[in-house]
Amino acid sequence: MADTKQNKRIFSGIQPSGNLTLGNYLGALKNFPLLQNDYECYYCVVDLHTLTVRQDPEALRERSYSLIALYLAAGLDPEKNVLFLQSHVPQHAELSWILGCYTYMGELNRMTQFKDKSSRHADNINGGLYTYPVLMAADILLYQTDAVPIGQDQKQHLELARNIAERFNKIYGDTFVVPEPFIPKTGARVMSLQDPTKKMSKSDDNANNFVLITEDEASIMKKFKRAVTDSGSEIIFDEENKPGISNLINIYASIKGISREDVEKEFAAARYGDFKMAVGTAVCETLAPIKARYEELMKDKQYLESILRKNGEKARTVAGETLKDVYRKVGFIV
């Protein structure tokens, strides 16, 4: 195994396909800095993945800088973590081709995100959308990753990456570390504020459904005030019968780092309206300093650029070792 690492490794990625939502924050980004002292962490801006849906080139470039700035603003230390762009490391695309030859169409056909995205973009069901989970497997396996911090919606993709790794290891001997998902207890699936039966998503057409990490406070408070609640008046976690309140409990628990039961106790005597305002306030308190740091960082593109260049180099070295091992094993002349 091309595995010269000293510490356990973490890899995760976020697409620069829109402004990040509270869902991206609670499901993924918030957990990234918590790992930086105990693991060797690779956090990637997965720009290749975004082309599965049409992008405006200038906007995509800007959002890639934006996402690196958000990684930093959320507390990731650029000296401790490898923060980089996927397109700066050609090994991702190269390994993806190889792994595609070890992935069955039956497996890709089962991916719920493919089914969901192809129904939303019926005029552009392209090959990339279909093979997207293979590229994601390549992202993870290139770095001999032990754990992948992700939200619930990426669990199926991670299971596929594990299956591909195991299959490859069985044929060629130990080549890849088989990664574990790292899914938070609360905040792993933040739902839409207006329709709590569907996931909060940065590509949603209705802006009232989501809260952005960089949104201003007045607007965040307005959205929580208008958030859909359920019949009854009790603040209890019951996803089936009270999806709206359950979503708000989940958000508050995740933001405060407490359990759902603690939230129920804290608001046992509160009314829906007061609870919604408390959740909005807690969200604003957490996001405001991140937004302020983000705005500062976006003024210094040169600094962001220097991080990308330096880290791209580091990522290419590690990824190159794995790819070389794979090339040798499958029978290429290296």
Q: Under the rule (CB under 6 A), what is the footprint of ligand TYM?
A: 11-15, 23-24, 26-28, 46, 49, 136, 139-140, 148, 150-151, 153-154, 157, 188-190, 199-200
Specify which residues 41 forms β-bridges with: 10, 81
Q: What angle do CA 234, 239, 240 make, to 5 degrees?
A: 100
Q: How far is the CB of 99 from ligand TYM (least distance, A)?
A: 13
**Residue whose CB is less far from ligand TYM, 23 or 280:** 23
Q: Of 150, 200, 239, which Cα lies nearest the Cα of 159?
A: 150
Pick the closer one to ligand TYM by CB: 95 or 328. 95
User: From CA 182, how far away is CA 162, in angstroms rounded?
Assistant: 13
CB 127 within 8 A of CB 105: no
Helix (H/G/I), strand (E/B), else coil: 85: strand
One DSSP character per residue, 250-307 reads HHHHHHHT--HHHHHHHTTT--HHHHHHHHHHHHHHHHHHHHHHHHHHTT-HHHHHHH
| Amino acid type, 101 | C
> Do residues 189 and 153 lie in contact, with contact meaning Cβ atoms separated by under 8 Å?
yes
310 included as an active-site residue: no
Query: Is residue 117 annotated as a catalytic residue, yes or no?
Result: yes
Pairing of strands 40-45, 81-85: parallel
Q: Are 113 and 159 in contact (CB under 8 A)?
A: no
By beta-carbon proximity to ligand TYM, the closer residue of 117 and 276 is 117
Kindly report the CA angle at 164 between 24 and 49, in degrees rounded to 5?
A: 40
Active-site position among 202, 256, 314, 324: 202
Q: What is the DSSP letter of 147?
A: E
200/263 with CB nearer ligand TYM:
200
- State yes or no: is 329 an active-site residue: no
What is the smallest separation between the CB atom of 185 and ligand TYM, expressed in angstroms?
12
How far apart are CB 39 and ligand TYM at their closest, in Å?
14
Gyration radius of the chain over CA positions: 20
Which residue's CB is nearer to ligand TYM, number 161 or number 307?
A: 161
Residue written as tokens 């990426």?
154
Q: Residue 183 has which token pair? A: 């899914």
Which of the following is catalytic: 30, 199, 223, 242? 199
User: Which amino acid, residue 216?
Assistant: D
Q: How far is the CB of 204 from ligand TYM (least distance, A)?
A: 10
Name the residue number minimizing CB distance to ligand TYM. Answer: 27
Nearer to ligand TYM, 48 or 284 (CB): 48
Closest approach, Cβ 43 to ligand TYM, in A, equals 9
Closer to ligand TYM by CB, 11 or 224: give it. Answer: 11
CB atoms within 10 A of CB 196: 24
CB of residue 331 to ligand TYM, shortest distance in Å: 27
Q: Find the shortest distance in angstroms from Cβ 16 to ligand TYM.
A: 8
The token pair that represents 169 in the structure block: 């290891």
The residues annotated with a catalytic role in the active site are: 117, 199, 202
